[in-house]
């Protein structure tokens, strides 16, 4: 993934998984300003609207980093975002392990995988951090339970380190907000 659109796809998945994000849009605004004798414009690639009403503008770059032109425009966009209480960032390619893990979990994003009746059992089974396979085997049919675990990991009910490869012995625990609600 050495190109910007691959980074954009990954950033969309990461933002979609973030609980503070309530809406996503591609190129929702274009900023236009004067530089010397010419008019310059830039439309950030992504915008995330956050629960607190603020926003995040984001541009994606490949492994080689931002071009000089994008870097100059990024400074203007960052200042404009700050002026309205938003934030702006340039996103480069994330860690390949993170990408693989988030891509896998995104496959379980659909509500059909939601834990539903499994949620209380999952919260109880992972109340203390433990290898995923131990709890899955205790809870019942692994085919049904794994799908519920992956959906709970995607949705933030459960947590696991995403900077390490996901595997059956990965240590899973209840996410803080779920533990406080239980």
Rounded distance, CA 72 to CA 33, Å?
12
- What digits encode the pLDDT tens for the residues 102-127? 999 999 999 888 867 778 899 999 99
Taking alpha carbons only, the member of 170, 45, 2 closest to residue 101 is: 170
Structure tokens of 175? 């996410």
Find the mean pLDDT for residues 167-171.
97
Please give the sequence-ordered ranges of beta strands (E in DSSP) within the chain, or none if there are none: 21-26, 31-35, 38-42, 46-50, 55-60, 87-91, 130-131, 158-160, 171-174
SS3 42: strand
Find the mean pLDDT for residues 79-94.
94
- What digits encode the pLDDT tens for the residues 38-69? 999 999 999 999 999 999 999 999 888 889 99
pLDDT value at residue 182: 45
- What digits encode the pLDDT tens for the residues 11-28? 999 999 888 999 999 998
Taking alpha carbons only, the member of 69, 26, 63, 30 closest to residue 48 is: 26
Going from N- to C-terminal start, the domains of the chain cover 4-91, 96-181
Model pTM score: 0.81
Residue 178 has pLDDT above 70, yes or no: no
CATH architecture for the domain at 96-181 = Orthogonal Bundle (1.10)
pLDDT value at residue 6: 81
Contacts of 118 by beta carbon, 8 Å cutoff, 6+ apart: 139, 144, 145, 148, 152
pLDDT value at residue 179: 43
pLDDT value at residue 64: 85
- What digits encode the pLDDT tens for the residues 139-166? 988 988 999 999 999 988 999 999 999 9
pLDDT value at residue 62: 83
CA distances (Å), 37 to each of 21, 34, 61, in order? 39, 7, 28
Question: How many Å separate Cα 131 from the centre of its chain?
Answer: 23
Tokens 């931002």 belong to residue: 66
Lowest mean pLDDT among 35-39, 61-65, 87-91: 61-65
Residue 129 has pLDDT above 80, yes or no: yes
SS3 159: strand
Exposed e or buried b per residue across 79-95, where buried means at least 16 C-beta atoms within 10 angstroms of its C-beta: ebbeeeebebbbbebbe
């Amino acid at each position: 993934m050495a190109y910007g659109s691959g980074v954009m796809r990954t950033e969309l998945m990461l933002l979609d998984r973030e609980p503070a994000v309530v809406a996503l849009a591609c190129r929702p605004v274009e900023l236009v300003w004067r530089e010397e004798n010419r008019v310059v414009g830039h439309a950030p690639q992504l915008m995330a609207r956050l629960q607190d009403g603020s926003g995040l503008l984001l541009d994606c770059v490949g492994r080689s980093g931002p071009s000089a032109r994008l870097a100059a425009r990024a400074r203007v966009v960052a200042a404009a975002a700050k002026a309205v209480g938003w934030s702006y960032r340039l996103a480069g390619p994330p860690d390949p392990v993170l990408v693989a893990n988030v891509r896998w979990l995104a496959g379980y994003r659909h509500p059909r995988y939601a834990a539903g009746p499994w949620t209380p059992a999952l919260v109880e089974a992972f109340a203390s951090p433990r290898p995923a396979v131990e709890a899955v085997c205790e809870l019942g049919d692994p085919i049904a339970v794994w799908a519920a675990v992956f959906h709970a990991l995607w949705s933030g009910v459960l947590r696991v380190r995403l900077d390490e490869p996901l595997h059956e012995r990965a240590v899973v625990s209840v996410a803080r907000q779920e533990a406080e609600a239980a």
